Amino acid sequence: MNFLSQYWRKKLIGDIKQQKLLFSALFFLCIFGVGSYVTLTMGYTNLYASLDRIYATTNFADVEINTHSDIWFNISEVESFVKNFSKQNPEVGTINFRLLAASGYNSSIETKDGTRFQLTAGRAIGIDWTFSQTEMVNGFIFTEGMENPNPVNNSILLEAHYARTYDLHVNDSLQTKINGQEFNLTIQGIVYNPESLIVIPSRHDFLPNNRFGNIYLPLRALQEYTNLTDLANNIIIKLADDLHDEARSSIVSNFYRELNLYTTNSFAPPIFQEYQVSNWAINMDLEEINKIAIVLPILILGVASIAIFITLNRLVQSQRRIIGIASSLGYTPNDILLHYTSFSLILGILGSLVGIILGILLSGGITWVYAYFMGFPAIISVELQLEVILSAFFIGVSVTFISGLIPAVKANLISPREALQGNITVGKGRFSFIEKLLRIRSFRIRFTIPLRNLFRQRSRTIATIFAISASVMILVVSGAFNDSINTGISKQFSETSPYHLTVSYDGFKFADLGLLDDIAFIEQLPGVESVDPVLELPSILETSSRKEEALIIAWNSSSPRAHNFQWTSKGDQLLPNSSLILTSGLARTLGSSTGSILSYGYPRIPYLNSAFEIANATWNIWFTFGEERARNETLDEIYSLITRNKERLSFSQTSEGVNLRNADITVTGVSEEIWGSVAYTTVQTLTESMGIDIFKNSHLDIDLSPYSKLILKVKNPNNLTILENIKTEISSLSEIRSITFGYDFRTSVNLTMTAFNVIVTIFIIFACILAGAAIFTTIHINFQERARESATMLTLGLSDQEFLFIITIENVFQTIMGILGGILPGLLLADWILSNALRTFYFRIIVTPQTWIILWFGVLLIVLISQIPAIIQGVKMDLAEVTKEFSH
């Protein structure tokens, strides 16, 4: 094919050779643009494909329905309903019934200070083991142990994240606490499960937590441990494949409606697969990757297209004579057009091809790195995606081709007469706006040249500034992310919630049923500074227009010692009764502020009503033996009722699982914290709403205020021995499920941040390359274009240092403008991403002085480095030859 005539082919190769540095820079920009698109898009798609494979292998439930937290259903009764429903609706595939119960473990972990035991929380999941792996919804991927285990009552399957954290293996024993009793359970297999690909205890405990242990055991065994014979509280449903969203939604809502009719409203609303907490968290991450996969290549290819346009425009200008001669010798306009578009085509084709190859290799890496950090099973799908490859090639070639087309058309339009005529002026001289503004007349004339140069070719200056701004935007977003999150987390744990130990109870512990004794016991332990009991409850907060799920943390006093509210306005105040303090993220989501009145949902605990009746009866029986006797016997009776039926008193971790009633409450303050869905109130407010105060306000005079946690501050938190001693003493108390050190929690937060920091680092590298390539291209072009005048200045006696100074000032000025131009959009973009992508958190945008310094100096340094080749070329140029060049 005679693509180009021999002359133009030779010229093309010659031009590329002559401009090899510039061509290389543009080539790399194309590679980066196309490469980043392929890497991130294929990484994103591969991760989704991996998820799909994992979900397909494990029969991940399409929907999950839980009973309200204080209700269990009889399996045989619901089973008959389900059979009937399935008969009428063949789209319903498989349905499994499960029993979920809170659990706690005593596990040991190797640390640098030796072996430490840890009391950790988790969930026991009772499943029908008679199902085969294909029938089982939410089945397993085994990393250790038999794929078809035949578990006896004291054996379990352990979720892989927990097993890895505590180095547990098949046949190891796991000390487990369920329903207040301790069991030694043998691990029969280590498994992954689709519900916990990222282990997140609940939507309110949304940080990935590999210390949260999910165990799977036979349904009957768990029923026995929890005194819930024949009962279950969780239904998981796998629908027929290829069901449309509408059909899926319709069938599930029918099922739910009929189920609730059948069981008199025992069930909380269904949770579809996309809202299952682990899947939801992964999807949020993947959506982030998807957004980046769009924004980053746009920025890079945008800069590449500007650079190509500037370069080719310059090439056409410098070759006007050649174009003129060629035209007059009879070459057609098409030859010329084809020649100059060939540059951008070659760049586009080569850059896209190399970018695609690199992108394919790196996308595998991204998939693997994400899966590694999140602890996915080894089913990773890395596939060549033809549509991504083709679209990357199309985008890469189109962007470069279009960027080169305008200069090529310009070349094509030059008439031979015009082209052969005279010199080409490289931008007209004019007084710069700044000189006029500042009236710089006393300035040394040779130092005004950078200012003049800036205003000489405004479009190029603006393009360069835009390219630097694009890089700075990426840097600001990365820096603001890093600083906002790190500062937010650091402030939360060091100033707002400066606690050192958290003790979680099995369900609740009631004030007069041991909690006050526990507090008294802990307060006298050496090293303990303060103990605050708290009650955590999932709730729904509503305004007239908005509704938001929230976690309410209730303190037993209006001024907790382990929590310092960070007020956002002067009118904010500590907790009076019947009031609520919102965290700023939640206030923003709800559109509420201090003084707003909200409706909040509180749980009902019908079991407590029957407990109250039993307690009354006990009191009456024993009252004839004296009030003290009556009180002691009543307390014993209540204690026995509660410890035997602890599961009946525990709430689900999410508000979907809680049957809520509503009451109005006034917002008395907004505290700036990192949690996006947390509100604070007092225990008294909640117990009054829940009707628990009847115990206190009756002749029984028993304070049954429920608490779920103790928050401890110690005097010397750095002394690990004291902390360990306190933990050991506390673990001897009854009904303790888990004890977490503040720094353990921070460690898991930091671990989560590691993956994030890797992404930030990649961003920063991209941004630096972008800034460097942009400035390198412009400087190089500017230098080529102004070679004769530079040579003239040097010939007239300008020293190398002055020459360096002039070039540097011009570039520094462009850089400063670029940085200033990139800061505000960067901050706005960071704020948008932080507030939209991280709904469960709230981070105020913060950029620390260190980051600003690094940003300014970093970008300036890159610019200074990028100008080195042009300056070397400048000071080494042959003055005799260049001063005599006819045109630029």
Partner 1 sequence: MSLEGIVTLENVNRVYHMGDHEIHALKDISLSLETGKLVVVLGPSGSGKTTLLNVLGAIDKCDGKITVNDLEITRLGKKQLTKYRRKKCGFIFQFFNLLPVYNALENVEYAIELATNLSRKEVTERATEYLRKVGLFEKRFHFPSQLSGGEQQRVAAARAMAKSPELLLCDEPTGELSVNEGKKVLTVIQNMVKERSDVLTILVTHNQKIAAIGDTIVRLRSGEVDSIEEQTPIPAEQLSW
Residues that bind partner 1 (CB under 8 A): 423, 425-430, 441-442, 444-446, 449, 452-453, 456, 788-789, 792-800, 878-880, 883-886
Residue 26 and residue 43: Cα distance in Å, rounded?
Answer: 25
User: How open is the CA angle 147-153-155, to the nearest 5 degrees?
Assistant: 45
- Considering the complex, state which of residue 432 and residue 478 has its C-beta at the smaller distance from partner 1: 432
- Considering the complex, state which of residue 101 and residue 419 has its C-beta at the smaller distance from partner 1: 419
Residue 64 and residue 239: Cα distance in Å, rounded?
Answer: 11
Residue 479: what are its φ and ψ, rounded to 5°?
-65, -45
Residue whose tokens read 């700036």: 672
Supply the minimum distance, in Å, between the C-beta of residue 792 and partner 1: 4
- Considering the complex, state which of residue 179 and residue 453 has its C-beta at the smaller distance from partner 1: 453
- Considering the complex, state which of residue 181 and residue 425 has its C-beta at the smaller distance from partner 1: 425
- Considering the complex, state which of residue 549 and residue 810 has its C-beta at the smaller distance from partner 1: 810
- Considering the complex, state which of residue 93 and residue 427 has its C-beta at the smaller distance from partner 1: 427
The CA-based dihedral angle spanning residues 719, 720, 725, 729, taken in that order and rounded to the nearest 10 degrees = 110
Supply the minimum distance, in Å, between the C-beta of residue 423 and partner 1: 7
Residue 886: what are its φ and ψ, rounded to 5°?
-70, -50
- Considering the complex, state which of residue 456 and residue 460 has its C-beta at the smaller distance from partner 1: 456
Residue 719 and residue 724: Cα distance in Å, rounded?
Answer: 9
Supply the minimum distance, in Å, between the C-beta of residue 370 and partner 1: 52
Supply the minimum distance, in Å, between the C-beta of residue 811 and partner 1: 16
Pairing verdict, β 155-159 and 579-583: unpaired
Supply the minimum distance, in Å, between the C-beta of residue 787 and partner 1: 12
Supply the minimum distance, in Å, between the C-beta of residue 288 and partner 1: 47
Helix 849-866 to helix 868-876 angle, to the nearest 10 degrees?
Answer: 30
- Considering the complex, state which of residue 446 and residue 839 has its C-beta at the smaller distance from partner 1: 446
The first and second tokens of residue 784, run together, are 């080529």
If one counts every other C-beta atom within 10 angstroms of the C-beta of residue 47, the result is 25
User: How open is the CA angle 881-885-888, to the nearest 5 degrees?
Assistant: 130
Q: Which of 733, 743, 725, 746 is nearest to 533 (CA)?
A: 733
Give yes or no for a contact between 792 and 877, defined as CB atoms under 8 angstroms apart. Answer: no
- Considering the complex, state which of residue 116 and residue 446 has its C-beta at the smaller distance from partner 1: 446
Residue 393 half-sphere exposure, CB side, CA atoms within 13 Å? 12
Residue whose tokens read 């038999």: 146
Q: Which of 256, 281, 276, 278 is nearest to 267 (CA)?
A: 256
Residue 250 and residue 253: Cα distance in Å, rounded?
Answer: 5
Q: Is the dihedral of CA 256, 259, 265, 270 positive or negative?
A: negative
Supply the minimum distance, in Å, between the C-beta of residue 313 and partner 1: 18
- Considering the complex, state which of residue 133 and residue 873 has its C-beta at the smaller distance from partner 1: 873
Supply the minimum distance, in Å, between the C-beta of residue 777 and partner 1: 21
Q: Which of 193, 177, 202 is nearest to 124 (CA)?
A: 177
- Considering the complex, state which of residue 147 and residue 418 has its C-beta at the smaller distance from partner 1: 418
Instruction: List beta partners, residue 665.
Output: 598
- Considering the complex, state which of residue 427 and residue 825 has its C-beta at the smaller distance from partner 1: 427
Supply the minimum distance, in Å, between the C-beta of residue 793 and partner 1: 7
- Considering the complex, state which of residue 148 and residue 801 has its C-beta at the smaller distance from partner 1: 801
Instruction: List beta partners, residue 534.
Output: 555, 709
Residue 873 and residue 754: Cα distance in Å, rounded?
Answer: 43
Give yes or no for a contact between 690 and 602, defined as CB atoms under 8 angstroms apart. Answer: yes
Residue 570 and residue 579: Cα distance in Å, rounded?
Answer: 17
Pairing verdict, β 92-111 and 173-178: antiparallel
Supply the minimum distance, in Å, between the C-beta of residue 783 and partner 1: 15
Pairing verdict, β 660-671 and 155-159: unpaired
Residue 847 and residue 852: Cα distance in Å, rounded?
Answer: 7
Supply the minimum distance, in Å, between the C-beta of residue 28 and partner 1: 31
Supply the minimum distance, in Å, between the C-beta of residue 803 and partner 1: 10
Supply the minimum distance, in Å, between the C-beta of residue 877 and partner 1: 10
If one counts every other C-beta atom within 10 angstroms of the C-beta of residue 256, the result is 17
Supply the minimum distance, in Å, between the C-beta of residue 794 and partner 1: 8
- Considering the complex, state which of residue 530 and residue 792 has its C-beta at the smaller distance from partner 1: 792
- Considering the complex, state which of residue 84 and residue 425 has its C-beta at the smaller distance from partner 1: 425
Supply the minimum distance, in Å, between the C-beta of residue 399 and partner 1: 33
Give yes or no for a contact between 102 and 159, defined as CB atoms under 8 angstroms apart. Answer: no
The first and second tokens of residue 374, run together, are 């999140």
Residue 504 and residue 331: Cα distance in Å, rounded?
Answer: 85
Q: Which of 852, 854, 834, 859 is nearest to 844 (CA)?
A: 834
